[in-house]
Amino acid sequence: MSKTLILLGTRKGVFILESDAARRDWQLRGPYCDCWPMNHVIADPASATIYAGGGNEWFGPAVWKSRDLGQSWTHSSEGLKYAEGEEPIKAVWSLAPSAQGLYTGVQPAGLFLSGDDGQSWRQIEGLRNHPTRPKWQPGGAGLILHSLIPHPRDPQHIWVGISAVGVLHTANGGESWEMRNRGTRADFNPEDQRYPEFGQCVHCLVMAPGTPDRLYQQNHCGMYRSENAGAEWESIETGLPSSFGFPAAAHPRDRDTLYLVPLNGDIAGRYVPEAKAAVWRTRDGGKHWQALREGLPQKDVFFGVLRQAMAADRHDPAGIYFGTNSGEVYASADEGESWRCLAQHLPPIASVETLIVS
Amino acid sequence: MPNVAITLTPALTRLFPGCPRQLELEATNVRGLLDALDQRWPGMRDRLSDSMPRIRPHVNIFVDGERSVLETRLRPGASVLIITAISGG
């Protein structure tokens, strides 16, 4: 029987929700990884290996790994470091499997690759050598590389999102990088500097399924779509209750369907608008948006959803999941039409990802 | 090289299965002690020191009752206590 797993990175370790393909009954287990703060927990669907990246205030950054669906774990940070004298790496923020190996993004922003399944790491130095790096400024969570998208077929192409630098793209496997921020706003800048080359506060970057040139971006200042791999961005925020939010989740098969959880604004408390929970869905690439509320709490809701805390599974119909910064997990088994709470009272949830095991 | 007596915090030993809380190793300074620990339990040096390099800000290594740095020398028979500082939330 196949298993469906929801992988949760939280402030106090990794938790896993497990069900079958029907996704009706869920069992929660954890915390794993010695209760380390975990920013991103993913699985490689090819091997079903789970990787968890985070950082511990005492012991620094590491990537944890489980080959038995979370029952046992090892950890390593060999090579996950900058040169002597540079600001040390504080935490791992993003993980992505690829044909080249396992990529990880860290704080302060940098990119590393492991060719031995997370045992050791080497820096992709071209990113840190970008000529603009001395001018990079941190966002509220620090100078973090939180979005990491290897091209699904061409290993030379990678996109990253760094707060508050913006989107960068490499076409040569990481040797050199170009900014990809044209059309995205920086409303926090002086009026005549709202569209800089870099310095935008990208919150979450996702790729449309089967269409690597189409990217979606939830930004601190707006919601955007690109049809040319990030070279230019078009605002798609008309119809949303707010231009501010953190996560975005692409449908597993439909490139035009995307899910968001807009929040009420960066100076308004950063919780769901009108204190009513809703996931917002487009089915036409951002031309129109629909609020999905059935089963979600509609009174006195003051949670937010962090940038990596929403995901879709690959079932048909697709399951959509999000975790809140107040420790609840909500799930829809019907592409967002209806929702229910799977878990509550967990630590603040930083990331949600899924794994289906045959 | 002189032997030193080391006591490790359980917050550390639980990350390295099989690592005892008390042991003796040969080292002439704290940096060498972390190298010796790392040889026995690969990865332990990175848990205790960062890439500056320095002892991690929320880790304390006491040598004969005094807070140390990587360059602190170890006398024969020195007592080394590796503990976590107050941290977290």
Which residue(s) pair with A54 in the sheet? A38, A62
R_g (Cα) of chain A, nearest Å: 19
Whether residue A211 is predicted with pLDDT greater than 80 in this model: the reply is yes
Helix (H, G, I), strand (E, B) or coil at A57: coil
Q: Which residues does A contribute to its contact with B (CB < 8 Å)?
A: 34, 57-60, 62, 75-78, 80-86, 88-89
Q: What is the pLDDT of residues A277-291, one digit of tens each?
A: 999 999 999 999 999
In the A/B pair of chains, how many CB contacts fall below 8 A? Answer: 50
Whether residue A19 is predicted with pLDDT greater than 80 in this model: the reply is yes
User: What is the layout of strands, in order, in the sheet containing A349-357?
Assistant: A27-32, A13-19, A3-10, A349-357
Mean pLDDT, to the nearest integer, of A102-118?
98
Pairing between β-strand B79-84 and β-strand B3-8 as defined by DSSP bridges: parallel
Whether residue A347 is predicted with pLDDT greater than 90 in this model: the reply is yes
Helix (H, G, I), strand (E, B) or coil at B33: helix
Whether residue A52 is predicted with pLDDT greater than 80 in this model: the reply is yes
Q: Do B56 and A82 touch (CB under 8 A)?
A: no
Q: Which regions of chain B does DSSP assign to beta strands (E)? A: 3-8, 22-26, 59-63, 66-67, 79-84
R_g (Cα) of chain B, nearest Å: 12
Residues 6+ apart with CB under 8 A from A131: none
Q: To 10 degrees, the CA torsion angle through A85, A87, A90, A94? A: -110
How many Å lie between the alpha carbon of B54 and the closest alpha carbon of chain A?
A: 10
Confidence of residue A1 (pLDDT cuts 50, 70, 90): confident
Q: Do A76 and B84 touch (CB under 8 A)?
A: no
Which residue(s) pair with A172 in the sheet? none
Residues 6+ apart with CB under 8 A from A125: none
| SS3 per-residue string spanning A181-219 | CCCCCCCCCCHHHCCCCCCCCEEEEEEECCEEEEEEEEE
Q: Chain B contacts of A86, Cβ < 8 Å? A: 51
How many Å lie between the alpha carbon of B78 and the closest alpha carbon of chain A?
A: 24
Q: Which amino acid is at A81?
A: K
* CA–CA dist A36, A279 (Å, integer): 29
Q: Which residue of B has its CA nearest to A55?
A: B47
Q: Do A83 and B51 touch (CB under 8 A)?
A: yes
Residues 6+ apart with CB under 8 A from A1: A20, A21
Confidence of residue B86 (pLDDT cuts 50, 70, 90): confident
Mean pLDDT, to the nearest integer, of A8-23?
97
pLDDT at residue number B88: 61
pLDDT at residue number B69: 98
Q: Would you state the structure tokens that stand for residue A326, as one six-digit string?
A: 């107040």
User: What is the layout of strands, in order, in the sheet containing A234-235?
Assistant: A202-208, A211-219, A222-226, A234-235
Helix (H, G, I), strand (E, B) or coil at B3: strand
Q: Would you state the structure tokens that stand for residue A353, as one six-digit string?
A: 């990802």
Q: What is the pLDDT of residues B41-84, one digit of tens each?
A: 999 999 999 999 999 999 999 999 999 999 999 999 999 999 99
Confidence of residue B89 (pLDDT cuts 50, 70, 90): low
Residue B65: Cβ-neighbour burial (10 angstroms; 0-12, 13-18, 19+): exposed
Confidence of residue A344 (pLDDT cuts 50, 70, 90): very high
Mean pLDDT, to the nearest integer, of A156-180?
98
Q: Do A84 and B51 touch (CB under 8 A)?
A: yes
How many Å lie between the alpha carbon of B61 and the closest alpha carbon of chain A?
A: 12
pLDDT at residue number B2: 73
Residues 6+ apart with CB under 8 A from A263: A242, A244, A245, A246, A270, A271, A272, A273, A304, A305
Asked if B10 reaches chain A (Cβ–Cβ under 8 Å), the answer is: no
What value of ipTM does the predicted structure carry? Answer: 0.94
* CA–CA dist A183, A188 (Å, integer): 15
pLDDT at residue number B1: 73
Q: Which residue of A has its CA nearest to B10?
A: A34
Q: What is the pLDDT of residues A170-194, one digit of tens each?
A: 999 999 999 999 999 999 999 999 9
**Contact indicator for A202, A219 with CB cutoff of 8 Å:** yes
Pairing between β-strand A13-19 and β-strand A27-32 as defined by DSSP bridges: antiparallel
Pairing between β-strand A211-219 and β-strand A144-150 as defined by DSSP bridges: unpaired
Q: How many CA atoms lie within 13 A of B21 on its CB side?
A: 5
Q: Do A75 and B43 touch (CB under 8 A)?
A: yes
Q: Do B52 and A84 touch (CB under 8 A)?
A: yes
* CA–CA dist B81, B66 (Å, integer): 10
What is the percent of chain A with per-residue pLDDT over 70, rounded to a whole number?
Answer: 100
Q: Would you state the structure tokens that stand for residue A352, as one six-digit string?
A: 């949600």
The whole-model pTM stands at: 0.97
Which residues 11-70 of B are in CB contact (within 8 Å) with A?
A: 11-12, 14-15, 42-43, 46-48, 50-53, 56, 58-59
Q: What is the pLDDT of residues A67-101, one digit of tens each?
A: 999 999 999 999 999 999 999 999 999 999 999 99
**Contact indicator for B31, B4 with CB cutoff of 8 Å:** no
How many Å lie between the alpha carbon of A349 and the closest alpha carbon of chain B?
A: 15
Mean pLDDT, to the nearest integer, of A15-34?
97
Residues 6+ apart with CB under 8 A from A232: A182, A183, A226
**Contact indicator for A161, A147 with CB cutoff of 8 Å:** yes
* CA–CA dist A279, A340 (Å, integer): 12
* CA–CA dist A18, A214 (Å, integer): 32
**Contact indicator for A258, A280 with CB cutoff of 8 Å:** no
Q: What is the mean pLDDT of chain A?
A: 97
Q: Which amino acid is at A103?
A: Y
